[in-house]
């Protein structure tokens, strides 16, 4: 494994490819060195997709594509197949910085543990459900959130329900139109399938059988 090291000035400057450096190691290096600065991630087309500002090693605000705050943080770690490049530059966040986010107050270590647990859950859900291009259809006229389902998920479930009411959509479509990370979208879709609010389209069902 490649080692990430602090410069002699104790001012951290990092850059490289995500194919060579594990995102967890990058994060822990910033957190353990108590650095203040901005982590930026670009896709393989050199387009900026994510940025997080750290204050003394603690993530304080961030964006990942259309998500902000903690939801952006969960999305950053949920998919092990994230590709592209990263850079970290020490320094204060500019007043007009592009990050538009509510403040993140949780501890850096606690957030990483929760994020990695979420990554494991996401992997299990992706194996159990059809791929993200499979189409979902509503089976009931109205949403009745199951009593045994997590009550804190109901608001997002209603957001997903309202989006899906306009036309059949894939999980990827739902994710892009919702304000929560992909893991939460998958969890809610799974719950709505089990409660028979959603069903996979016939084409998707036929593909699963085949």
- Partnered with residue 55 across adjacent β-strands are 58
- Beta-sheet strand order (sheet of 198-200): 169-170, 135-138, 198-200
- C-alpha distance across the termini of the chain, in Å: 41
What is the pTM assigned to this prediction? 0.84
Listing DSSP states for 99-118 in one string gives ---PPP-S-HHHHHHHHHHH
- Partnered with residue 137 across adjacent β-strands are 199
The fold for domain 129-209 equals: Arc Repressor Mutant, subunit A (1.10.10)
pLDDT tens-digit readout, 34-89: 999 999 999 999 999 999 999 999 999 999 999 999 999 999 999 778 899 999 99
pLDDT tens-digit readout, 92-123: 766 555 566 788 999 999 999 999 999 999 99
pLDDT tens-digit readout, 185-206: 999 999 999 999 999 986 554 5
* Residue 167 pLDDT > 70: yes
The closest alpha carbon to 101, from 179, 187, 154, 28, belongs to 179
The closest alpha carbon to 156, from 134, 118, 182, 123, belongs to 182
Residue extents of the structural domains in the chain:
13-121, 129-209
User: In this prediction, what percent of the chain has a pLDDT beyond 90?
Assistant: 71
């Amino acid at each position: 494994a490649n080692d990430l090291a602090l410069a002699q000035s104790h001012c951290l400057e990092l850059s490289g490819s995500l194919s060579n450096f594990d995102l967890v190691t990058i994060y822990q290096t910033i957190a353990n060195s108590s650095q203040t600065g901005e982590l930026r991630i670009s896709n393989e087309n050199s387009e900026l997709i994510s940025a997080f500002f750290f204050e003394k090693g603690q993530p304080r605000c961030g964006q990942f594509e259309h998500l902000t705050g903690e939801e952006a943080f969960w999305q950053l770690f949920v998919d092990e197949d994230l590709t592209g490049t990263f850079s970290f530059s020490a320094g204060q966040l500019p007043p007009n910085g592009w990050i538009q986010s509510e403040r993140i107050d949780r501890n850096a270590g606690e957030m990483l543990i929760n994020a990695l647990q979420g990554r494991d859950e996401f992997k299990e859900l992706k194996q159990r459900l059809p791929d993200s291009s499979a189409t979902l259809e509503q089976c009931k006229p109205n949403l009745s959130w199951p009593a045994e389902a997590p009550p804190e998920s109901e608001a997002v479930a209603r957001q997903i329900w309202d989006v899906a009411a306009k036309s059949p959509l894939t999980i990827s479509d739902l994710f892009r139109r919702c304000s929560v990370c992909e893991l939460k979208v998958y969890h809610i879709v799974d719950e709505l399938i089990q409660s028979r609010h959603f069903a996979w389209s016939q084409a998707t069902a036929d593909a699963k059988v085949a």
